[in-house]
Amino acid sequence: MQKQLKIGLIGVGVVGSAVAKILQQNKDIITARTGVEIVVKKGIVRDIKKHKNATIPLSQSVDEVLYDNEIDVIVELMGGVEKAYNIAKIALSQNKAFVTANKAMLAYHRYELEQMAKTPIGFEASVCGGIPIIKALKDGLSANHILAIRAILNGTSNYILSKMCNEGWDFSSALKKAQNLGYAEADPTLDINGTDAAHKLLILASLAYGIDSRPEEILIEGIETLSSEDIEFAREFGYTIKLLGIAKKRGDSIELRIHPAMIHSQMPLAKVDGVMNAISVVGDSVGESVYYGAGAGGEATASSVISDLIEIARGKMPQGGQMLGFHTSQPLSIIPKEQIQSSYYVRILAVDTYGVLEKIAAVLSRNHISISTFLQKPSQESKTPANSTSNDKNQKAKILLSTHTTTESAIQNALCELEALEVVLAKPIIIRIEEA
């Protein structure tokens, strides 16, 4: 009889049912590639009445899989943080392998799981469902010190930014379209504000740098404040804007951050449009390599879940203690937010009168920030008919500038001082510029 690997599936939603379906549909190739038949013994759902067409045996009690001695692997696809973490702990304590797509739970508990595990833990599906980036970092690039990771980790944000940058849409129309197409949730907050991307970046940073950090400890900014003027400025200077997760080595420390970034239109990441995800990794020997694919979707994510199951079936996935694949006696440290270095784009709304530029320049200079490019134009709202006098006191000017490299604390200081100027009419907006 064919050797079997039996799994318990907790959560049979979009991804869970795709896992069951693909295990069935691609049984021929999966068995050929492992010598083992992978079988879902039972799926756990919240409300069994809602799954009338299920093709696998269902139950509402997680205990039925967690404590079933015949089950070799628990696949957790229920989401949430603490409840899922609890299930992981029980699964590991029962000496079952554990496979998860749960990035939020791993963003908080990946090191605790690694420490307690004596069985394999697979989490390829937790970062960019359709891109095997976990295995690339653990295996393919294992000879490298990773110098930088720059990644488009959230499809919803990338869809919105693509519409804004390529087709001139405004933020809210693009968001509405994304929701209509099913790319964005009814409540898109975690996608838009960078939290979802941060969860994924933390997992990648652990693989690349062995860094234990939580979302609260890193710089996270979303795309909500971007305006079409920012997009235009970017285009004018050869940039496009992407929501990037960035992990970068500086000496023995690591910068970790999520924010909208201006990147040169020629960089590979600049060409990634729509809901697609992509991860650029720079290794000290391999140089840059880029991984591109679907970031979400039931079948793409299921493909990654099953790749972990196959690795387990082959006996190739490391036992506990090596989940994150990186162990060094000298752990790297995280650079505090305020010491992050970048160049910046700054948008300032000011009164259009003499002396304004001087005052703004003085603030920047006092904070040791030097200007790289500068653009001033009358604000849209204050455009006046051709016959009005240019000394009108209500005239407003938009000042757009970019800086040379400086620190986060210098720019934040400068922003406060700028906002306090009487001639500045609103809190200035910044976008970080990411040079390759």
Which backbone phi and psi does 216 adopt, to 5 degrees? -65, -20
310 contacts a second copy (rule: CB under 8 A): yes
Rule CB under 8 A: choose which of 118, 271, 366, 404 binds a second copy. 271
281 is in an annotated binding site: no
214 contacts a second copy (rule: CB under 8 A): no
299 is in an annotated binding site: no
Residues labelled catalytic: 200
62 is in an annotated binding site: no
289 contacts a second copy (rule: CB under 8 A): yes
44 contacts a second copy (rule: CB under 8 A): no
Q: Are 19 and 77 contacting, i.e. CB atoms less than 8 angstroms apart?
A: yes
Rule CB under 8 A: choose which of 76, 114, 196, 311 binds a second copy. 311
436 contacts a second copy (rule: CB under 8 A): no
Rule CB under 8 A: choose which of 286, 362, 416, 436 binds a second copy. 286
204 contacts a second copy (rule: CB under 8 A): no
Closest contact distance (angstroms) between CB of 9 and a second copy is: 15
Nearer Cβ to a second copy (214/327): 327
356 is in an annotated binding site: no
32 contacts a second copy (rule: CB under 8 A): yes
Closest contact distance (angstroms) between CB of 322 and a second copy is: 8
268 contacts a second copy (rule: CB under 8 A): yes
185 is in an annotated binding site: yes
Q: Which residues pair with 276 in a beta bridge?
A: 294
17 is in an annotated binding site: yes
Rule CB under 8 A: choose which of 13, 79, 215, 325 binds a second copy. 325
35 is in an annotated binding site: no
89-99 burial, b at 16+ Cβ within 10 Å, e below that, comes to: bbbbebebbbb
130 is in an annotated binding site: no
40 is in an annotated binding site: no
Closest contact distance (angstroms) between CB of 148 and a second copy is: 14
SS (H, E, C) 299-362: HHHHHHHHHHHHHHHCCCCCCCCCCCCCCCCCCCEECCHHHCEEEEEEEEEEECCCCHHHHHHH
Nearer Cβ to a second copy (136/357): 136
Closest contact distance (angstroms) between CB of 286 and a second copy is: 4
Rule CB under 8 A: choose which of 292, 349, 352, 363 binds a second copy. 292
Closest contact distance (angstroms) between CB of 97 and a second copy is: 15
283 contacts a second copy (rule: CB under 8 A): yes
Identify residues 107-166 at the interface with a second copy (CB under 8 A). Answer: 124, 130-132, 135-136, 139-145
Closest contact distance (angstroms) between CB of 37 and a second copy is: 14
Closest contact distance (angstroms) between CB of 111 and a second copy is: 16
Separation of alpha carbons 158 and 352, rounded Å: 35
213 contacts a second copy (rule: CB under 8 A): no
Write the CB contacts of 222 (distance below 8 Å, at least 6 apart in sequence): 157, 192, 193, 194, 243, 260
Binding-site residues for NADP(+), please? 10-17
Interface residues toward a second copy, by CB under 8 A: 18, 22, 25-26, 28-30, 32-33, 35, 124, 130-132, 135-136, 139-145, 268, 271, 283-294, 297, 299-300, 302-304, 306-307, 309-311, 314, 316, 318, 325-330
Binding-site residues, please? 10-17, 103, 185
Binding-site residues for NADPH, please? 103
